[in-house]
Amino acid sequence: MRTLSVCDERWPTAGEFRIARGAKYEVHVIVVEITEGAHRGRGESTPYPRNGETMEGSLVQVAATAEAIEAGASRDVLQTLLGPGAARNALDCALWDLEAKRSGTPAWRAAGLERIHPLKTCFTIGMASAKDMARAAKAAASRPMLKLKIGGGDDLDRVAAVRAAAPKTRLIVDANEGLSMELLRRLAPELSKLGVALIEQPLPASEDVQLEGYESPVPLCADESLHTRAELDDCARRYACVNIKLDKAGGLTEALALKAAARERGLMVMAGCMVATSLAMAPAMILAQGAEFVDLDGPLLLVRDREPGLAIAGSILEPPKPELWG
């Protein structure tokens, strides 16, 4: 017999974490547990107001599935019970974990992988003054890739200061919908000169049709514009890369299908995350295998991580142990 439980948790960030839309000092996550006999599966997700989600609404969505989940609903059935988003993600990942615990087959093998490799994640520097971002970049200069939050004006000064502080590190910039098309046209050539590898979500999702026909000197990556396969054809006309997140897709099941569909269209893939603990990163490590860009630094942005968590050395994430997930 199965039982479903859900709770919310708060985890403080390591200082202010600011993007173009605002700042946060803690993350508020959902944790779902599904038990069946001696086995327990867990999943974690982060409701995101940008996507119209609230913690209260997401908890209600999870609770509404209890009867079906406790009656034995599979991951395929779950896709019909809830739409994409944080609630379905937590449930989907808990079901993946439960299946692994019951069968003794690791989740990565069930996902069709021959093995799961350690990954190098980028490390995010929140939007701040050029001086403060340069200071943070200097402290993180040994990391292989930094993601810089921009979109607040003076962006070129910020990126130039970071490049001077970390001359050998690969850079991504993430505008979180904070630029206009005019500003992108002016900024992109200068970012190319600074060696920026990717510009993530430069325009508001509602306005990114303007990107069709634009040949950016730096590859563009869709984030807020892409949730599931439903938006993929539009994104393929506007972007070179897509940021796939389990919270947006509504779980690992849809995220893997989205990744395969993106590959069919010749798109690069970033495996991304919300700021969250290792329990949320663990299933995303399956998605991130073979991705051109890995952004699973959520636990590195917290004061402390879940125990047990992922083993992390610098920017290297080791595959999750079964005690954590999968």
Tell whether the torsion through CA atoms of 244, 129, 317 and 86 is positive or negative.
Answer: negative
Which residues pair with residue 152 across a beta bridge? Answer: none
Q: Does the residue 326 lie in any domain?
A: no
Which residues pair with residue 36 across a beta bridge? Answer: 2, 39
Return the CA Rg of the chain: 19
Quote the pTM value: 0.95
Among 76, 105, 134, which residue terminates a domain?
105
Residue with tokens 């142990």: 321
Among 78, 105, 132, which residue terminates a domain?
105
At 304, the pLDDT band (50, 70, 90 cuts) reads very high
Q: Does an H or E element contain 268, and which?
A: strand 268-271
Average confidence score pLDDT of the chain? 96
What is the percentage of the chain residues whose pLDDT exceeds 70?
A: 99
290 three-class SS: coil
- Looking at the structure, do residues 10 and 157 belong to the same domain, yes or no? no
Among 70, 105, 140, which residue terminates a domain?
105
Which residues pair with residue 8 across a beta bridge? Answer: 30
Task: Give residue 214's pLDDT.
Answer: 97
Establish whether 147 is a catalytic residue: no
In terms of residue numbers, what domain contains 184?
Answer: 119-317
Tell me the C-alpha distance between 12 and 21, whole Å: 19
Establish whether 120 is a catalytic residue: no
Q: Give me the catalytic one of 24, 120, 147, 149.
A: 149
Query: Residues of 96-110 as b/e, b for ≥16 C-beta within 10 angstroms?
Result: bbbbbbeeeebbbee
Torsion of CA 157, 12, 93, 109, to 10 degrees: 70
Q: Give me the catalytic one of 147, 245, 248, 259.
A: 245
At 20, the pLDDT band (50, 70, 90 cuts) reads low
